[in-house]
Amino acid sequence: MTSALISGDRIFLRGLAAECIIGFIEWERRVKQTVVLDLELPVDCRRAAATDDVADTVDYKRVAKRVLTYIEASEFKLVETLAHRLALLLLEEFGVEWVRVSLNKPGAIRNSRDVGVVIERSRADLTAAAAARL
């Protein structure tokens, strides 16, 4: 078990907004819409606290930039697909043990502030996705 899992330490990003093609209705395939994202990733903050060096933690600025680049280039029909693929990307590129992604589309449903999904993925999901591609 990694020290981040034992410690319970986490980094989070909340309210990260990006524009992308998302939706299955015809007009949604032509117009970029805003999605808002919250992320949570495990990290053992003890070493970074001792060294005061960003190299000893998960750099949330790098995470945010990568997430924005990925989302803005994406064109999915379902928020479920976007959230899942994004979670796998974070697991692979940042080497964390798990990730929690909350993704919503503000104003997607009349009389509702937003709708979306909350998912959690782990390294086991990354392994399963890799095996499915073979």
The 10 Å CB-count burial string (b at 16+, else e) for 93-126 is eeebebbbbebbbeebeeeeeeebbebebeeebb
Helix (H, G, I), strand (E, B) or coil at 59: coil
Q: How many CB atoms lie within 10 A of CB 18?
A: 22
Taking the C-alpha atoms of residue 19 and residue 15, their distance in angstroms, rounded to an integer, is: 13
Active site residue 105: yes
Identify the active-site residue in 61, 65, 77, 105: 105
Q: Annotated active-site positions, please? A: 105
